[in-house]
Structure formats: C-alpha cells, structure tokens
Amino acid sequence: MAMGYVFGKISDLGLKLPSSGLYLLVKASNAEPEPFYNAHRDRSDLSSPASFGAGWYAANHTPRIARWMSDHSRLQFNVTNPSKIRLELMTHIPTLPIELHFELNGVEICGFSLMEYDWLTVEMDVPEELSAPFQLEIRASRTWQPALHDPNSNDDRPLSIAVCNFEVI
C-alpha cells in the first residue's frame, strides 16, 4: 500500500522517473521494518536463483509483483537437469498480437503470438542436450511507451511484457 501511495504522489506531482527504470524509494522509520515484497519468506531451498540480465526493469506491482521487459531480455540460472521452465506473462501493449520468442542457450524452445491481455501461464520443455549454466532469452516483436498512450502517465520506458512466477522444474 505504501508503494502505491508513493507512486500516486509521483504521478500527482507530474514527476518523471528515469527511463532506465532504475530508481530506489526508501521508507524511513524508527520502527522495526515489516515484511516487504515477501522478503521474510524462507528461500533456503533456492540453491541457484535466477539472475535478471539486460532488458529487465525493476520489479513492480502490475497488480502482481512482476518485471517488465523491453523488446529483448536475458535471464540466467544454473540448475542441474531441468525438464521444464514455467512463467506467467501479460502485456498492456495497445494493439495485439505481439510475437514472442524464447531461446534457451541459443535453441528456440517456444514461440507464439500473444492475443489476449490477461495473465498467461507458459510452460516450455527444456531439451535434454542442453546443460548448465542456462541463459533464457526472450524477444518481443515490439514495445510501447505508456506515456505516449496515456496523458496521465509519466512512464516513458519501452515495455513489451511483464513476467512473474518464473520456475525451473
């Protein structure tokens, strides 16, 4: 709720955020900090977390906690013998469809036209011949800038899709 308040104030004041999407908002208080973005959860079972490389923006509320990407992004992870990759994605791009292509270590594992605005679960098989470390590249056929389509927005980042709940199985 506090982040929504802060972003509401930023919008009300007409402040322009950096187009890189890189910014830090700090909440100052003398009280003990409460859990934030599930930071209190036990993550000890995540032996090799994913690393978001080029093309990703900081996580934000979409209303799910997700990361928007530009037209091309990379995600690195190091897992032994994965069989599937699962993630959820959506877009707000004004005109559909948008073409999406997924490559794992240079091998295309999925491609499709996104035709709806609702969240979509995508599950992709990992070819057995591929081995760690893994790099997942996602390419979108185009992007949009919210500020060019909504006079109340000051978000001028080039966005294609938002991704959340990334899992390697």
Q: What is the pTM of this model?
A: 0.72
pLDDT of residue 25: 67
**What DSSP string runs through the chain?**
-HHHHHHHHHHHTTPPPPTT---------SSPPPP-TTTTS--TT-SS--EE-TTB---EESSSEEEEB-SEEEEEE--SS--EEEEEEE---SS--EEEEEEETTEEEEEEEE--SS-EEEEEEPPTT--SSEEEEEEES--B-HHHH-TT------B--EEEEEEE-
- What are 76-128's pLDDT values in tens digits? 999 999 999 999 999 999 999 999 999 999 999 999 999 999 999 999 999 99
Q: For position 92, what pLDDT does the model report?
A: 94
Among 46-60, 105-119, 140-154, whose mean pLDDT is lowest?
46-60
pLDDT in tens, 21-44: 666 666 677 777 666 555 555 544
47 pLDDT band (50/70/90 cuts)? very low
User: What are the chain's domains?
Assistant: 2-168 (2.60.120.260)
